[in-house]
Amino acid sequence: MKPIQRIGVIALTVVLAAGSILPTFLSGAAPGRPATTGPAAGARSPQAVLGDLRDADEKVRTVMPSLISLSDPDFRKENAAKILPPMKQMLGYFGELEKLAPNEEVKESVRQNRYRLMSYLATLGDKDTQTALETAAKGTGKDALSAKSSLALVSWFNTSKDAAAQTKVLDDVAVLAKENPESTELGESLGFMANVGPANGDVSKKAIDIIRTNMKGDDAKAMLAELESGMAQKELVGKPFAVEGRTSTGGKFSSDSLKGKVVLVDFWATWCGPCIGELPNVKKAYADFHDKGFEIVGVSCDTGDDVLNSFTKENVMPWVQLREASQSEAERWHPLAKRYGVDGIPQMFLIDRQGVLRYVDAREDLADKVKKLVAEASDQGATTKPATK
């Protein structure tokens, strides 16, 4: 569920929940499934609708880069008027895509994600959407379940500072989960609640426990494993932290040698597309803050030194890279990644000048987080309240 906090609305509503909806529409049929329907006469092509959807989403993301902002009442009050128009356009485009779906599997995925988008609109105060959800929730069948799940998310966002109120929301969702244990929609909502806007750690743990106790199926198992690893990572925040191991040039290294500096631990690989996409941000942070006491330690999930060293040289990455000789095609994941529950890359940890882990989600708003820690005096970190979401 880590991507939830970072990606924009279209990425959450299309890519995260269904994974292949975008390429499905672009190719015209779901992988391995024949198209059972075709565009009606005069209907726009899926590509045209997706183009408009991306444009509208970009307008939303210029104001709301992260969905976490929805849990901030001040943000909603100040920015709803800017976000609602393009988000309403997106809702219309989802309606078009639902009609253009090449088969029932894709149609169902779009339908579920259309309801998720409706939860954002209602959270931002759109009364028509709120009424539509409340009406659908009184019915029966899958639309009623989708509406109830969406309304629970609206309540969740609106009670982000109130642990007791969020616990009540979770109690209600737990009833739905018991009645619908194989619902991927409810599982995703619970995973969302565990990650985005929980009032405290206990509330987040309760959301995870509902999945553990009530949800069934492979998707629920995978989500549970990811959420539990995320919780384990959060337990590390605020404590001394160091990484050590073999370097890609055959030496030995420990980040303890960098105490007194702010250290970014970047779990990545040369074969990872999102890692390469993130590289300009990492390099810019290094260029902007290195002279102020900022260092980077790469933890590579590559399987050979030559490829890694050639890439870092070509792309001017002067910081140390850790890679164990045991990493191979069969097991390329770095042992440190497995040890600290890193199940998706890139992921970035950020250590302060005292050697205390302050963030396990440093990829999001990287420059701001580095700037904050660099500005701290070297004797301040140990007494500073851990900065984590």
Amino acid in position 359: Y
User: Tens digit of pLDDT for each residue in 262-279?
Assistant: 999 999 999 998 899 999
* pLDDT beyond 80 at 247: yes
Examine residue 151 and state whether it is found in any structural domain, yes or no: no
Eight-state DSSP code of residue 20: S
User: Tens digit of pLDDT for each residue in 249-265?
Assistant: 999 999 999 999 999 99
Examine residue 272 and state whether it is found in any structural domain, yes or no: yes
- Asked if residue 182 and residue 272 are part of one domain, the reply reads no
- Asked if residue 365 and residue 261 are part of one domain, the reply reads yes
- Asked if residue 125 and residue 104 are part of one domain, the reply reads yes
Packing angle, helices 201-214 and 184-195, rounded to 10: 160
- Asked if residue 107 and residue 33 are part of one domain, the reply reads yes
Is the Cβ–Cβ distance between 36 and 104 less than 8 Å? yes
Under the phi-then-psi rule, with left for phi > 0, alpha for psi from -120 to 50, and beta for the rest, what region is 19?
Answer: left
Is the Cβ–Cβ distance between 284 and 367 less than 8 Å? yes
Q: Model's pTM, two decimal places?
A: 0.65
The owner of tokens 């609602």 is 84
- Asked if residue 324 and residue 273 are part of one domain, the reply reads yes
- Asked if residue 221 and residue 252 are part of one domain, the reply reads no
- Asked if residue 100 and residue 172 are part of one domain, the reply reads no
Q: Which residues of 38-65 are buried (b: 16+ CB within 10 A; e: fewer)?
A: eeeeeebebeebbeebeebbebbbeebe
Domain that holds residue 221: 159-236
Q: What is the mean pLDDT of the chain?
A: 84
What was the pLDDT predicted at 62? Answer: 86
- Asked if residue 215 and residue 266 are part of one domain, the reply reads no
What was the pLDDT predicted at 380? Answer: 55
Examine residue 153 and state whether it is found in any structural domain, yes or no: no
User: Which of 236, 268, 296 lies at the terminal end of a domain, its last residue?
Assistant: 236
- Asked if residue 378 and residue 264 are part of one domain, the reply reads yes
User: Which of 202, 236, 270 lies at the terminal end of a domain, its last residue?
Assistant: 236
- Compute the average pLDDT of residues 33-56: 71
Examine residue 139 and state whether it is found in any structural domain, yes or no: no
pLDDT confidence bin for 222, thresholds 50/70/90: confident
User: Tens digit of pLDDT for each residue in 58-80?
Assistant: 899 889 877 888 889 999 999 99
Examine residue 179 and state whether it is found in any structural domain, yes or no: yes
Structurally, how many domains does the chain consist of? Answer: 3
- Asked if residue 285 and residue 353 are part of one domain, the reply reads yes
Examine residue 216 and state whether it is found in any structural domain, yes or no: yes
| CATH number, domain with residue 348 | 3.40.30.10
* pLDDT beyond 80 at 298: yes
Examine residue 345 and state whether it is found in any structural domain, yes or no: yes
CA distance 63 to 61: 5
- Asked if residue 257 and residue 228 are part of one domain, the reply reads no
Examine residue 198 and state whether it is found in any structural domain, yes or no: yes
Is the Cβ–Cβ distance between 150 and 185 less than 8 Å? no
User: Which of 90, 114, 129 lies at the terminal end of a domain, its last residue?
Assistant: 129
Q: In percent, how much of the chain has pLDDT > 70?
A: 86
- Asked if residue 287 and residue 331 are part of one domain, the reply reads yes
